[in-house]
Amino acid sequence: MNGEILEHEINEQPDVIEQLIAHESGNISHIVEKVRDSFDYVMIAARGTSDNAARYAKYLFGERNAIPVALAAPSLFTVYKRPPQLGRALVLAISQSGHSPDVISVVKEAKDQGKPTIAITNDYGSPLAKTADYTINIRAGEEKSVAATKTYTTTLSALAMISIFIKGKTLADTKIQQLPAWMRETLNENFQLTAQMGDYFETDKCIVVSRGYDYSTAFELSLKLKELTCTNAEPYSSADFMHGPITLLNNGSPVVVISPPVSMFDDINQLIAKVKRYGVRIFGISDNQEILKQVDIKMPVCEGLPEWLFPIVSIIPGQLMSLGLARAKKLDPDHPKGLTKVTETW
């Protein structure tokens, strides 16, 4: 009832990513070499948390590899039975369980059209893994808590390694092997949030805002708040937020701002200044001291992270925030009411 399982799995993330990098990088490199010259764009099929990982991939492959990314509409393949012609697509299916029929249907159709397919999953023996041409095992171990934590960050890490190998680089050419250390530092800096969140958060609604790479983090944190705390959390790009939804702050909704390093600093800085005019409480997830000085509740991310790896670590304060708020509301963080670990949709 007190979220011990979820807390353990949040804290486990540095270790599982260390194992993923050590034991799966060779397989990922091999897969990339097999498909390298066979596609012009990537189509990703996913649901739920995996869909948020797909949002990360959209920026990752676009900015790092100059590869367009499309997000599949699985209902076209299942409900409407009118799958599009995929052209020179690489179809990448992301599913922690590997059991969602609609995601599997996208892979089956892609294979029927002769397109290369890759599954990213935590179950190497799942129907999805057996259907795809190639499988990346995220090696997170059993995730007992209903809310995804370690399977999300290992999925992002697997996507990051795909990007590295598409660029023709090695892991040593990048800073990805420092991820476990960065995660441990961020966990240590934010762990007190779990005990204090009840004092900070006194409403059942909030806004979560970011942009660029961390657009995915805004959606994933919003989902965690909904799943674990029954908070009506709405995610926005900071650019979209200015086009009307900022008026939501008139009802007193607190704002969680995720500030990625470098590229989005000016944008997020201006956003915070505008939000302050509404007199609402601001939570800030950032590695930048100038940003953190302006917010009411500081959730620091360790310094030194490149922007393209930042979302793998920046979600950790949000996970701890959600755990702490669930405890403050006397909800069960391990087994949220009405949710199951494996959700099958068609």
Q: What is the mean pLDDT of residues 72-99?
A: 96
Tokens describing residue 304 = 């030194």
Q: Which of 94, 168, 99, 104 is nearest to 137 (CA)?
A: 94
Residue 225 included in any domain? yes
Residue 340 included in any domain? no
Q: What are the phi and psi torsion angles at 222 (to 5°)?
A: -60, -45
- pLDDT for 343 equals 60
Structural domain ending residue among the three candidates 174, 209, 227? 174
Residue 289 included in any domain? yes
Name the average pLDDT for the chain: 93
* Total number of domains in the chain: 2
Q: What is the mean pLDDT of residues 147-173?
A: 97
Residue 334 included in any domain? no
Same domain, 279 and 135: no
pLDDT of 341 over the 60 cut: no
Residue 91 included in any domain? yes
Same domain, 36 and 154: yes
**Interval 278-287: pLDDT, tens:** 999 999 999 9
Residue 337 included in any domain? no
Same domain, 136 and 21: yes
Same domain, 122 and 200: no
Same domain, 75 and 160: yes
Q: What is the mean pLDDT of residues 329-339?
A: 85
Same domain, 128 and 267: no
Same domain, 87 and 123: yes
Same domain, 35 and 105: yes
Q: CATH number of the domain that 265 lies in?
A: 3.40.50.10490
**Interval 42-64: pLDDT, tens:** 999 999 999 999 999 999 999 99
Same domain, 84 and 126: yes
Same domain, 263 and 153: no
Q: What percent helix, strand, coil does the chain show, rounded to 5?
A: 55, 15, 35
Kind and range of the H or E run holding 135: strand 134-137
Same domain, 215 and 134: no
pLDDT of 332 over the 80 cut: yes
Q: What is the mean pLDDT of residues 199-219?
A: 90
Question: Residue 344's pLDDT band (boundaries 50, 70, 90)?
Answer: low
Q: What are the phi and psi torsion angles at 304 (to 5°)?
A: 105, -10
**Interval 119-154: pLDDT, tens:** 999 999 999 999 999 999 999 999 999 899 999 999
Residue 69 included in any domain? yes
Full residue range of the structural domain in which residue 118 is found: 4-174
- pLDDT for 196 equals 82
Residue 342 included in any domain? no
Same domain, 267 and 157: no
Report the distance separating Cα 241 and Cα 244, nearest Å. Answer: 6
Residue with tokens 């609604």: 205
Q: What percent of the chain clears pLDDT 90, i.e. is strictly above it? A: 84
